[in-house]
């Protein structure tokens, strides 16, 4: 019972961190248009990148 509570507690701490880190990685891919990670990321978010003031070509 106690072990289950500890595992649940750890999961509740780890999951949000993993999700936020995963989305933060997606943000970096979008912001810098990393086509090698997500083909088309550069063209798809080209306008977004310029409008929010991130250097682009």
Partner 1 sequence: MRLKPLDWKRGIGLGIFTGVIWGWIVVGINTLSGAFPFENGLLYSLITFSIGGAVFGIVIGGFMVVMEGRLPFKWPFPNAVFLSTSLWVVLSLTGLMLSFVKPGRYHHVTAQTIQGLGLAVILGALLGLMWNRSVGRRGIRP
Instruction: Let me know if 32 is exposed, middle or buried by CB neighbors in 10 A (0-12, 13-18, 19+).
Output: middle
CA 38 to CA 19: how far, in whole Å?
18
Q: Which of 3, 4, 12, 36 binds partner 1 (CB under 8 A)?
A: 12
Q: Does 19 bind partner 1 (CB under 8 A)?
A: yes
Which member of 16, 35, 37, 39 binds partner 1 (CB under 8 A)?
16
Instruction: Work out whether 26 is an interface residue with partner 1 (CB under 8 A).
Output: yes
Which of 2, 3, 36, 57: binder of partner 1 (CB under 8 A)?
A: 57
């Amino acid at each position: 019972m106690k072990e289950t509570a500890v595992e649940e507690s750890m999961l509740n701490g780890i999951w949000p961190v993993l999700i936020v880190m995963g989305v933060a990685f997606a943000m970096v891919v979008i912001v810098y248009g990393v086509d090698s990670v997500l083909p088309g990321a550069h063209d798809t978010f080209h306008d977004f990148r310029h409008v929010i003031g991130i250097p682009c070509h």
